[in-house]
Amino acid sequence: MRPLVWLAAVAVAFAAADTYVVVLALPDMMAGVGLSIEELQRAAPLISGFLLGYVAVLPLIGRLADLLGHLPVLVGGLVVFAFGSFLTALSWDLTAMVVGRFFQGLGGGALVPATLALVAALYPVERRGVPLGLVSAVQELGSVLGPLIGAAVLAVADWRAIFLLNLVVGVVLAIAISRLGRSADPRASLVEPGERSEPVSRPTQSAPSPGGHLDNLDTPLDTPPPGGSSGSTDVAALLMLLVAAAAFVLLAIEPAALVQDLTWGALYVPAAGSSRWLTPLGLVTIVATVGFLAKWGMRPGVRGVLRRISAEVDLLGALLLSIALAGVILAFATADPEVAVFSEQGTWYLLAAALAALGFVFHLRRAQDPIVPRGAFARMPAWGSVLVSFFVGAALVAALIDVPLFARTTVYGESQLKAALVLLEFLVALPVGAVLGGFLTRRLPAGVIAGGGMLLAAVAFVFMARWDAEALRSLSSTVVLVTGGLGFGLALAPVNAAVLATTEQSMHGLTTSFTVVARMVGMLVGISALTTIGLRSYYAAQADLPSLSSVCTGGGMCEEYQDLLIGAAIAQEHTVFAGAAVCAAIAALLSVVLLRGAPTRALSPTETVTAL
């Protein structure tokens, strides 16, 4: 693949790995801000904050990628991700950490649609299958490497080192992608000799170069016009940024030598209340940051970009859509599945989401240039890809969450690490399936490949729903997990290829962002609904158990009664796996029906049969 796509894929994989690293480091992060493990519910914003940044504003970011170019959004996403990592690493309370996690999600979420749209800009429609499969494979590989990276870092340092590593890698990747993008010749065709480029209708305002959305990257967005100079502004902005960073670091780490000094200790005394932000150092951080943003915003190139965004981006529509998505995310992400599918406040969150959605639909009918252009998802494979992605996410989350839980309940009750490693058999097979799905997309219909993959996943879940307490000790469980991972992997590239092939290139950032949003929302709804249903099965099985005294005659908990409790827990997992099998089967059916007709192949059906 082209170096740009490789670097973008690595960035996506690194952001994906961070999600799994955080899950492993969550207890230490809670302790770092003064929370005990019993206060796990209070730490829920660490997850929901990341998801809000990742999902709620993703359509807006996708639209910006189409407007400003995919590489600027990639670089900007990495910078925001690094900034969020910096905030998280130096967080001293839960609020600061949640803000840092929000920016991490915001930056990490921007990478996926920008990378997929970059592939569409670099490759003609019939050659996208392999690079899309490789990008998906590298992304899923991040989920395998995440726990390993987290374990390695935590073995030699504390949890803050994880986010400092994110900061360094994010900055390095941003610089590398920026330099590589600017070194490309915008006048050179991005389609290799002999390749066929897809016919795409483009906006009539300007004639793009053969490079699609990459051609606006050779001139930096903040380049001043000829004859102008912004050197003094640059120096002032840089100084303010350095002052803000230095003040924030001192505010976060609180060096004992400064805090205990009679003179310098005054920098840590709040003007009112007890918040660190109201100390002299906190106020300096705030003022310097605001000054930097104001100075940077005065640059001619930046002002031009901001004017273009305000003129060409439907900000009201983006706000309404973000509120609708945020309501859904908060309703399910803050839920306690032992009580209900969504939280106590979930009704209000969903009501706000419904009102915002109604306002968004009304706005779409009246806006002259809405954030989701009319006809963007007019073709069936386009909106079908979004729907399929939802059910793929709902099924996938059951494997990611409940396979380790099943292992912990049965054969690895004493080791959380060994229980988590069982999932590696599934996760290693997933990127292999993604690459294979990419190759097959060049020869077979996207719906057939995605449908076949999700059918394999459904069959794997059916077998999981029949596992007994000793199932994970046999080789057959490995076959089931590998089959499930391959099935999910096979579906990734065809779904992405279908939405890219049936939407205009000028909308690829936006349309691919919806497939990512649908998958994430599917995961949230799926884990909440399936877990609630599974817990009801557990309580029903537990109610049928004989009394403790009738089984354990010697007093206390005996081994026989523990086996009965394990049986009830297994019944819960069986219910979850059965529900995931239904979701996977629905995804398979929808893939075959809705993705048909997507022009993702280089050969016609007759040529395909001949080639096979």
CATH number of the domain enclosing 490: 1.20.1250.20
Domain edge (last residue) among 131, 159, 186: 186
For every residue of 184-230, DSSP letters joined together read S-TTS-SSPTTPPPPP----SSS---TTGGGGGGSS-TTPPPTT---
Same domain, 388 and 360: no
How much is the average pLDDT of 453-479?
93
Does 294 have pLDDT greater than 70? yes
Same domain, 136 and 253: no
Both ends of the chain: CA-CA distance in Å?
A: 25
Least confident of 7-16, 440-449, 591-600: 7-16
Q: How confident is the model at residue 114 (pLDDT cuts 50, 70, 90)?
A: confident
Using a 10 angstrom Cβ sphere, with 0-12 exposed, 13-18 middle and 19 or more buried, the burial of residue 37 is exposed
Same domain, 365 and 274: no
Tally of structural domains, the chain: 4
Interatomic CA distance for residues 465 and 544, integer angstroms: 20
User: Cβ atoms within 10 A of the Cβ of 14, count?
Assistant: 25
- pLDDT (tens digit per residue) in 68-95: 888 888 899 999 999 999 998 888 888 8
Same domain, 3 and 148: yes
Question: Are residues 449 and 491 in contact, defined by beta-carbon separation less than 8 angstroms?
Answer: yes
Q: How confident is the model at residue 567 (pLDDT cuts 50, 70, 90)?
A: confident
State the residue for tokens 């290139």.
Answer: 505
Question: Are residues 545 and 567 in contact, defined by beta-carbon separation less than 8 angstroms?
Answer: no
In the prediction, which pLDDT does 209 show?
Answer: 36
Is 201 inside any structural domain? no
Domain of residue 328, residue span:
316-370
Q: How confident is the model at residue 336 (pLDDT cuts 50, 70, 90)?
A: low
How much is the average pLDDT of 289-296?
86
- pLDDT (tens digit per residue) in 533-561: 877 777 777 676 666 556 566 655 566 65
Cβ neighbours of residue 547 closer than 8 Å, sequence gap 6 or more: none
Q: How confident is the model at residue 330 (pLDDT cuts 50, 70, 90)?
A: confident
Is 564 inside any structural domain? yes
Is 220 inside any structural domain? no
Does 487 have pLDDT greater than 50? yes
Same domain, 448 and 588: yes
| C-alpha 498: how far from chain center | 20
Rounded CA Rg of the chain: 26
Across 153-162, 216-225, 407-416, 480-489, which has the greatest mean pLDDT?
A: 480-489
Q: How confident is the model at residue 218 (pLDDT cuts 50, 70, 90)?
A: very low
Same domain, 148 and 7: yes
Same domain, 145 and 174: yes
Q: How confident is the model at residue 476 (pLDDT cuts 50, 70, 90)?
A: very high
Is 191 inside any structural domain? no
Longest dimension (CA), the chain: 93
| CA dihedral (41, 56, 13, 456) positive or negative | positive
Same domain, 352 and 412: no
Interatomic CA distance for residues 93 and 86, integer angstroms: 14
In the prediction, which pLDDT does 213 show?
Answer: 42
In the prediction, which pLDDT does 79 show?
Answer: 92
In the prediction, which pLDDT does 595 show?
Answer: 93
Q: How confident is the model at residue 607 (pLDDT cuts 50, 70, 90)?
A: very low
Is 386 inside any structural domain? yes
Same domain, 150 and 22: yes
Cβ neighbours of residue 454 closer than 8 Å, sequence gap 6 or more: 391, 392, 395, 487, 488, 490, 491, 584, 585, 587, 588, 591
Interatomic CA distance for residues 472 and 420, integer angstroms: 13
Least confident of 296-310, 377-391, 451-465: 296-310
Is 161 inside any structural domain? yes
- pLDDT (tens digit per residue) in 123-140: 887 777 778 887 877 777
User: Cβ atoms within 10 A of the Cβ of 544, count?
Assistant: 9
How much is the average pLDDT of 58-70?
84
Interatomic CA distance for residues 405 and 419, integer angstroms: 7
Q: Locate all alpha helices (DSSP H) within 367-507, ordered by sequence.
A: 380-409, 416-421, 424-441, 446-464, 475-501
For every residue of 473-526, DSSP letters joined together read GSHHHHHHHHHHHHHHHHHHHHHHHHHHHTS-GGGHHHHHHHHHHHHHHHHHHH
Is residue 542 classed as helix, strand or coil in its secondary structure?
Answer: helix
Is 210 inside any structural domain? no
Least confident of 381-390, 398-407, 438-447, 541-550: 541-550
- pTM summary value: 0.77
In the prediction, which pLDDT does 547 show?
Answer: 64
Across 86-90, 484-488, 518-522, 594-598, which has the greatest mean pLDDT?
A: 484-488
Same domain, 447 and 570: yes
Interatomic CA distance for residues 87 and 198, integer angstroms: 43
Interatomic CA distance for residues 120 and 271, integer angstroms: 54
Q: What is the DSSP letter of 411?
A: T
Least confident of 184-198, 478-492, 517-531: 184-198
For the chain, the average pLDDT equals: 80
Question: Are residues 539 and 498 in contact, defined by beta-carbon separation less than 8 angstroms?
Answer: no
Same domain, 460 and 518: yes
How much is the average pLDDT of 490-496?
91
How much is the average pLDDT of 45-66?
83
| CA dihedral (4, 500, 62, 219) positive or negative | positive
Same domain, 590 and 507: yes
Question: Are residues 129 and 435 in contact, defined by beta-carbon separation less than 8 angstroms?
Answer: no
Across 174-178, 303-307, 309-313, 543-547, which has the greatest mean pLDDT?
A: 174-178
Q: What percent of the chain has pLDDT over 70?
A: 81
Q: How confident is the model at residue 611 (pLDDT cuts 50, 70, 90)?
A: very low
Is 192 inside any structural domain? no
Domain edge (last residue) among 281, 313, 345: 313
How much is the average pLDDT of 40-59?
78
Using a 10 angstrom Cβ sphere, with 0-12 exposed, 13-18 middle and 19 or more buried, the burial of residue 364 is middle
